[in-house]
Every structure is written in structure tokens, then in C-alpha cells.
Structure 1
Amino acid sequence: MKHLIHTLNKAFDNRVRLGVMAVLMANETVSFNELKDALDLTDGNLASHVSALEKAGYVLVNKQFVGKKPNTTYQASKEGKSAFQDHLTALEKLLRGSA
């Protein structure tokens, strides 16, 4: 049997990615600026971490224009919600010291 530490999802090792997923789990959709403000990140930092989560299939990105301004929103994918919940469950088990 795997040790609990090996059941944690490496995609959520970084605190920014963990924060992004936490915000997306609590909200249906979140705009780029809302997510940036909620996590106190720079544009580039947020973009690179969201890109990694999108590549993993955990985040859905919707880009559109509102008037002449770009508007990007994010939401957790079904796979992302499941993977994040599994990660949280593994963390809880690790904290309790149970298998």
C-alpha cells in the first residue's frame, strides 16, 4: 500500500495552485481580476499557474470580449473538482494519521 504522502496530487503542491483551486471550488466561475485580487498575485504569476492547471485538465478557461475589453473567466472542471477533493481527503487522512 502507498504511504499517504504519495497519494497527494503534485499539481496542487504549489501554494498558488492550491489557492486557485480553493477559490474555484468555492465559486462557479471567477474572473481573472477577481482571482488575482483574491490571491494577491501578479498577472504573469496567475497566468502561468492557471495554465499549468488547465494543461492538467483541472481548470476551464473562457476568453471573450465585453465591449472592446478582454474578459477571462475560470472554473474548475469536473476532473479538477474530483482531483482536488481527492487531494483534500488525502491531506485529512495524513493529518489524522490514518490509512
Structure 2
Amino acid sequence: MKNPIADLNKIFDSRIRLGVMSLLAVNENVSFNELKEMLALTDGNLASHLNTLEQAQYLNVNKAFVGRKTSTTYSITALGKQSFKMHLDALEKMIRTI
């Protein structure tokens, strides 16, 4: 019998990273503050998870100034979209075999 979790992506083990990727998959871009509010996270907690996704090249980071304040937005990369889809497909496959 094949290991049912073998095809799952370890980066998406975290419910926070799963939430971030879900939001980015359906929105062109999302600001740091929007992600923080939608996922009910602290700045530090969100930043840590975004860093993990950025290091994996699953998201793009765009920093700009709005007036005198910095504004950081995130968007999903092609690699991120593909990896997230493969993870979701593996979850579906695992659920169907139970």
C-alpha cells in the first residue's frame, strides 16, 4: 500500500501557509495588512510564514510607498500556483482513498 501522505507538500502543513496560499490563489494580490486581518495573525507570526513561502519562491513580494508609508503586497508565483494545486490534488486523492 502506498503512503497516503507521500505526495503532500510539507510547506503547506501549516494552516497559516495553507490560508495564505488559498487567499493568493483567488486574488491577484493581497496586502500584508489584509492577510493579517483575514487570518487573524500577529505581524511577527504572519511575517515568519510569508518568509517561508517567499524562500520557496511560491510568492512575489512588492514593496511600495503610499504617501510616507510602505505598502507590501503579495501575489502567487507560477511555481506557487502549480505546487499548491499539486498539494490540493494530493489531498483530494488521499480523501478519496479513505
Same fold (TM over 0.5): yes
Q: Secondary structure at the match of 1:4?
A: coil
Q: Which residue of 2 aligns with 1:23?
A: 23
Hey, which bits of structure 1, 4+ residues long, moved more than 3 A?
Answer: none
C-alpha separation in 2, matches of 1:86 and 1:23: 16
C-alpha separation in 2, matches of 1:27 and 1:86: 19
How high is the TM-score relative to the length of structure 1?
0.94
Identify unmatched segments of 5+ residues in structure 2.
none
Q: Please provide the CA RMSD for this pair.
A: 1.3
C-alpha separation in 1, matches of 2:93 and 2:37: 31
Q: Secondary structure at the match of 2:41?
A: coil
Q: How does 1:39-78 map to 2 (within 5 A)?
A: 39-78=39-78
C-alpha separation in 1, matches of 2:39 and 2:45: 10
Shift of 1:3: 2.4
C-alpha separation in 1, matches of 2:8 and 2:89: 9
Percent of aligned pairs with the same amino acid: 59
Q: Which amino acid aligns with 1:97?
A: T
Q: How does 1:76-91 map to 2 (within 5 A)?
A: 76-91=76-91
Q: Show CA shifts across 1:39-97 (max 9, x none).
A: 00000100010000000010110011111001000001000000000000000000001
How high is the TM-score relative to the length of structure 2?
0.95
Count of matched residue pairs: 98
Shift of 1:2: 5.2
Matched, 1:97 2:94: no
Q: Which amino acid aligns with 1:72?
A: T
Shift of 1:26: 1.1
Q: Which amino acid aligns with 1:93?
A: K
Q: Which residue of 2 aligns with 1:5?
A: 5
